[in-house]
A and B are shown apart, each in its own frame.
Chain A
Amino acid sequence: MANPVQARAEVLSRITEGPYHRLVLLAPEAAPRVRPGHFATLACADSGMLLRRPFSIHRADPEAGTVELVVAEHGEGTRELVRTRVGERLDLIAPLGTPFPLPDGPVSALLVAGGYGSAPMFALGEEIRRRGGQIGFILGAATADRLYGVEQARALTQDVLVVTEDGSAGLQGRVTDPLAQAIKAIDASVVHACGPMPMLRAVTTIALGLGARCHTAVEEAMACGVGICMTCVLPVVDADGVSRFVRSCTDGPVFDGARVRWGDIGTVPADLEGATAMGGKD
């Protein structure tokens, strides 16, 4: 897991990008520690909402000492956060979690994201290219305005597919529709994906079916983000072959998709370590 720092981070800028807000935060201690796939949490102001909100880190610049987060308004807490003014400070903890594994050398990688799940993918793409690899993107959303970072993807590669459920941009459908063809087209040996659980499950199935590895960054509800509350667990097959509930915030958010028991999320599978101690009740 990461080596996080907590800081009162000054908001250097807040850029509205469609329905999303990109916050550029000054966090010189945290910035050099960030790798693609790490996440950060922000505390809400003293409003009675105790739980920190997690966000994947869009990018970090060690020289400028900045960490950038993409925030969408979901409820009161995030609404409060996006109202923060430039110059104000936010209680930031970063970096958190286990980042995307990076290849040692050149690979062909397909980066797949739903909505603003794409936020960490551009820094990841840059890193893969720096290692001599090639990348392609599939970016999807329900509607055109919910897409994030299409131009950033196009600045990195020509291989960018856009998919919307209503057909308002790119192909009509879901990211999984053109996935098999895209994996074959760029001969991808690895797929990196970030988005809702059902999407990650479907992406994993297709990627594995074509012999590609699949690294998935999950979006799971969490209370603390640092590994102490045990609320963000998923059933995952460990290296020893035993399935356990593991924390998305420390063991994840990036998991080997092949090890996540996607179909069992929200249940206590009978063969999970310690399931019998629960008296058969879930």
Chain B
Amino acid sequence: MDPQDVDLSVQFGPLTLPNPLTTASGCAGYGRELAKFVPLDELGSVTTKTIMPHPRSGLATPRMAETPSGMLNAIGLQGSGIDAFVRHELPWLAERGARVLVSIAGERLEDFTEVASRLNGQPGVIGLELNISCPNVADRGLVFACNPATSYDVVRAVRKVADADLPLYAKLSPDVTSITEIAAACVQAGADGLSMVNTVLGMAIDLDTLRPALAAGTGGLSGPAVRPIAVRCIHQVHAAMLAGRIPPVPIIGMGGVRSGRDALELALAGASQLAVGTALFNDPTAPLRILDELRTELARRGFAKFTDAVGYAHRPTPAERLP
């Protein structure tokens, strides 16, 4: 099969996206810098850095530490707030034909609903990703996604105020005892999809200063180092959907995608869209390369459509061979 003949299109709510690739929130700013390397309309969608109601300075430096096949970050959701985003960033993104998945967060339920309602009817917005799982908040107790009840409450509240046809995705943390329980709570609350996974809480200690390398102490681990964790979480939740324990919804997979092979691995586990995150720091043109590689990897295995590969790893081996 010619890789160019592989159909990469995917459904996203009412829309058909040209391909399953997006950016992972927090790894592509609001798109302006990435646009110097990648035409934003060539990506299936662009996921923004998390937007909150008000400007936020973020945490002190050092905010980053390199680790084997990955990095720790503790940015603390620095951003200029919803006003500046709606006024300056969204119109710019829409003009470039970007299909924008807006990541939103808050410290309280009301923050989520405030930001979500401000995004109703805005140009370019194709969906909301609820960041209920950022590990870099002052109090770990505030991570909504650590608890099914609080996850449910956030999704429920946003579902009430957001435009009814605007897909809502809940972004989940891998740092929980049972990710399927959290996933189930989000879907029951009205989530149209799940984004999996956020960074994994970690720490590095500087052997020169003999102190934690990050000013915040802990940070979120990302990059290829976390890919097996992402694959596991996506596989678990997709399996629970197949088993009828969670109503089936699409999953955006993220966690260490650096190549077409990595993207395919997450898709086989059950992800119907794929986000590129930390790999952008290494190679800002990575999304275009990954798309090319993904086409080749799919064609090589006889998949005429990307969607045929989604969740393929769940098929019983003896019953069926590769197509």
Contact = CB atoms under 8 A, between A and B. Distances in A.
Nearest to A277: B56
Contact of B73 (A226, A229, A268): A229
B61 interface: yes
A9 interface: no
Contacts of A272: 57
Given A224-B280, A224-B281, A278-B76, A229 B27 contact: yes
A3 B224 CA distance: 29
Contacts of B73: 223, 229, 231
A2 to B, nearest CB: 9
Given A228-B29, A273-B57, A282 B64 contact: no
A50 B282 CA distance: 5
A1 B37 CA distance: 14
Contacts of B57: 244-245, 268, 272-275, 277-278
B63 A278 contact: no
Given A6-B284, A50-B279, A50-B282, A223 B71 contact: yes
B71 A233 contact: no
B58 A93 contact: no
Contact of A227 (B33, B71, B80, B215): B33
B287 interface: no
Contact of A266 (B54, B58, B215, B281): B215
Contacts of A277: 52, 54-57
A230 B75 contact: yes
Interface residues of A, number: 43
Interface string B257-272: 0000000000000000
A35 interface: no
A43 interface: yes
Given A50-B281, A245-B78, A231 B54 contact: no
Interface in A226-282: 226-234, 244-245, 250, 265-268, 272-275, 277-279, 281-282
A52 B282 contact: yes
A77 B215 CA distance: 23
A9 B183 CA distance: 46
B33 A48 contact: no
Contacts of A232: 61
B187 to A, nearest CB: 30
Contacts of A49: 66
B210 interface: no
B64 A228 contact: no
A173 interface: no
Nearest to A48: B69
Given A50-B70, A268-B57, A277-B52, A229 B76 contact: no
Contact of A224 (B49, B54, B62, B284): B284
A51 interface: yes
A278 B54 CA distance: 11
A91 interface: yes
A244 B81 CA distance: 13
Given A223-B71, A278-B76, A233 B33 contact: no
Q: How large is the interface on B (under 10, 10 to 19, 20 to 34, 35 or more residues)?
A: 35 or more
Given A6-B284, A52-B281, A274 B63 contact: no
A4 interface: yes
Nearest to B284: A226
Contacts of A229: 27, 64, 73, 75, 281
A33 to B, nearest CB: 12
Given A50-B223, A50-B279, A274-B57, A4 B36 contact: yes
Interface in B91-146: 107, 138
B59 interface: yes
Contacts of B224: 48, 50
B278 interface: yes
A3 B78 contact: no
B61 A266 contact: yes
B54 A274 contact: yes
B60 interface: yes
Contact of A51 (B26, B62, B78, B282): B282
Contact of B55 (A3, A230, A274, A281): A274
B281 A233 contact: no
Contacts of A220: 61
A245 B281 contact: no
Among B27, B33, B61, chain A packs the most CB atoms within 10 A around the CB of: B61
B283 interface: yes
A279 B29 CA distance: 23
Interface string B222-257: 011000000000000000000000000000000000
B252 to A, nearest CB: 19
A64 interface: no
A234 B32 CA distance: 20
Given A50-B278, A223-B73, 20 more contacts: A4-B37, A43-B283, A48-B224, A51-B66, A51-B71, A51-B282, A91-B283, A224-B284, A226-B37, A226-B284, A229-B64, A230-B29, A231-B64, A233-B78, A250-B33, A265-B61, A266-B62, A274-B54, A278-B76, A282-B59
10 contacts: A48-B68, A48-B69, A77-B66, A91-B283, A228-B281, A230-B58, A274-B57, A274-B58, A277-B52, A282-B215
Interface of A: 1, 3-4, 6, 43, 48-52, 77, 91, 93, 220-224, 226-234, 244-245, 250, 265-268, 272-275, 277-279, 281-282
